[in-house]
């Protein structure tokens, strides 16, 4: 294999490049990124960057890791437009055709936008550094802020902006934030946390219209409520970025469909990160995407192994992990939680900063969420990896 092209220059792509070099790949290594920036870390965008605690320079991986030895051909600001697996060519939006011997798909996901807001200034999503910088710039005018969607991005934005003293309203179709992810008890605890910090919730409501002359001036909700605002941040989920692969022959199904080793159905094309849908043995072989930081790190390395070692590479399994920082809380969640799993408080109290909630389905522990309890969280990871019984888990987490 002489040339490996990694499509996507974020965390999964970078970790894949690092793993390829560490495994001794000495050929040409191209890292293609749609954004104009060198690889940077996304989690701080909604937290340290938005709150102004960190300058953007602190986000770049090259600022905190040694990359000199990678000898990467970074092609930034260049977008993939198509793939021809028979000829082993990657087609770029510029019209250029790049030859590859091995290819890594790591194009991640793109945020969904609010259709009602088409064309209005002052309405932002938050996925990229440029998104975050645009929002941060807009904060200078002390806008009234409306956040659409009370998922993790929306809630982290709300927390960061409340810390800056801005007025923040949150619009969410469900009756509590995170209800569709973590169930009633945790959702209520998170709701209370934000209420205590002065967030104005409009729950059970959706956006009927976004009004303004060129710039957003207000949201109109489905019950007729008029919410005056100068800045809107939309956090209503993401879609895997696979448009460039349509018609290429790479199997797609709400992501790039991979086998247990992260290979696609096309020879010498593997995938890593948010874009991947694969059967994950760590959660009973369920075929899912795991759109979280640690998964991107580990999949980057595993995809490199599959590309270089072929079928001899091991299957990739991953116990999902994500975290969220809101005010003085660090929420950590592991496993594969469904909102209708039975939630049981196993440590602390839901109206206090520190607690742990265990989720159970069909007599099995499916996941654990902790708040400000890192040691308990690691015990939870261990017992999930070892598939301990509900009784054992209850004792271990207490």
Partner 1 sequence: MKIVVDFDLCQSHGLCTEAAPELFEIRDDGFLYILNETPGPELATKAQKAALECPTGAISIKDE
Interface with partner 1 by CB under 8 A: which residues?
Answer: 15, 18, 41, 43, 61, 64-65, 293-294, 297-298, 301, 321, 323, 325, 330, 332, 372-375, 377-378, 381
Tally Cβ neighbours within 10 Å of residue 223: 10
Cβ closer to partner 1: 248 or 347?
A: 347
Q: How far is the CB of 375 from partner 1 (least distance, A)?
A: 5
Nearer to partner 1, 281 or 378 (CB): 378
* Sign, Cα dihedral of 262, 263, 265, 268: positive
Per DSSP, the chain holds a count of helices (H) and strands (E) of: 9, 26
* Cα distance from N-terminal residue to C-terminal residue, the chain: 52
Nearer to partner 1, 198 or 374 (CB): 374
Least distance (Å) between residue 267 CB and partner 1 = 28
Q: Which is nearer to partner 1, 152 or 293 (by Cβ)?
A: 293
Give the Cα separation of 92 and 134 in Å (integer).
27
Q: For the residues of 13-46, what is the DSSP string, one character each?
A: HHHHHHHHHHTT--SEEEEEESSSSPPB-SGGGG
d(CA 37, CA 63): 13
CA 250 – CA 264 distance, rounded (Å):
7
CB of 63 to partner 1, least distance (A): 9
Task: Give me the least distance between CB of 345 and partner 1, in Å please.
Answer: 19
Q: Output the smallest distance, CB 273 to partner 1, in A.
A: 14
- Residue 153 CB, nearest distance to partner 1 (Å)? 16
Distance between CA atoms of residues 77 and 107, nearest Å: 13
Residues 135 and 122: their CA atoms lie apart, in Å, by 8
Minimum Å gap between C-beta 36 and partner 1 is: 22
Cβ proximity to partner 1: between 122 and 300 the closer is 300
Distant-in-sequence contacts of 292-295, Cβ < 8 A, 24+ apart: 292/320, 292/321, 292/322, 293/11, 293/42, 293/43, 293/321, 293/322, 294/318, 294/320, 294/321, 294/322, 295/320, 295/321
CB 294 to partner 1: min, Å: 6
Tokens of 345: 């408080």
Helix 374-385 and helix 390-397, axial crossing angle in degrees, nearest 10:
160
The residue (of 123 and 307) whose beta carbon lies closer to partner 1 is 307
DSSP secondary structure letter of residue 59 = G
Among residues 242 and 326, whose Cβ is nearest to partner 1?
Answer: 326
Q: Which is nearer to partner 1, 282 or 287 (CB)?
A: 282
């Amino acid at each position: 294999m002489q040339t490996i092209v990694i499509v996507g220059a974020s965390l999964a792509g970078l970790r894949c490049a690092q793993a390829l070099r560490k495994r001794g790949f000495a050929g040409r290594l191209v890292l293609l990124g749609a954004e104009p920036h060198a690889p940077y870390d996304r989690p701080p965008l909604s937290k340290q960057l938005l709150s102004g605690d960190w300058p953007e320079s602190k986000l770049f991986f090259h600022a905190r890791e040694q990359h000199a030895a990678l000898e990467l051909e970074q092609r930034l600001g260049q977008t993939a437009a198509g793939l021809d697996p028979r000829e082993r060519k990657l087609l770029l939006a510029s019209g250029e055709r790049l030859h590859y011997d091995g290819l890594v798909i790591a194009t991640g996901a793109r945020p969904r936008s609010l259709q009602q807001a088409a064309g209005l200034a002052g309405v932002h999503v938050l996925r990229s550094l440029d998104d975050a910088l645009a929002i941060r710039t807009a904060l200078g005018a002390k806008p009234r802020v409306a956040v659409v969607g009370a998922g993790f991005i929306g809630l982290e934005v709300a927390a960061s902006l409340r810390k800056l003293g801005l007025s923040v309203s949150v619009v969410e179709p469900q009756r509590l934030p995170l209800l569709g992810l973590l169930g009633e008890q945790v959702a209520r605890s998170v709701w209370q946390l934000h209420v205590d910090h002065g967030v104005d919730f409009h729950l059970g409501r959706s956006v009927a219209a976004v009004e303004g002359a060129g710039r957003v001036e207000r949201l109109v909700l489905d019950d007729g409520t008029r919410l005056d605002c100068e800045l809107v941040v939309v956090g209503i989920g993401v879609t895997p970025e696979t448009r460039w692969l349509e018609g290429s022959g790479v199997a797609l199904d709400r992501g790039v469909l991979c086998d247990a080793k992260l290979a696609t159905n096309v020879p010498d094309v593997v995938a890593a990160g948010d874009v991947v849908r694969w059967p994950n043995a760590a959660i009973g072989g369920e075929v899912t995407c795991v759109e979280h930081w640690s998964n991107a790190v580990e999949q980057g390395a595993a995809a490199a192994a599959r590309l270089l070692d072929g079928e001899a590479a091991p299957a990739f399994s991953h116990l999902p992990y994500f975290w969220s920082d809101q005010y003085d809380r660090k929420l950590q969640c592991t496993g594969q939680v469904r909102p209708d799993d039975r939630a049981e408080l196993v440590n602390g109290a839901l109206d206090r900063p520190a607690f742990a909630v265990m989720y159970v389905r069909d007599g099995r522990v499916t996941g654990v969420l902790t708040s400000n309890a890192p040691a308990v969280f690691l015990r939870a990871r261990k017992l999930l990896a070892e598939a301990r019984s509900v009784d054992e888990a209850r004792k271990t987490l207490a």
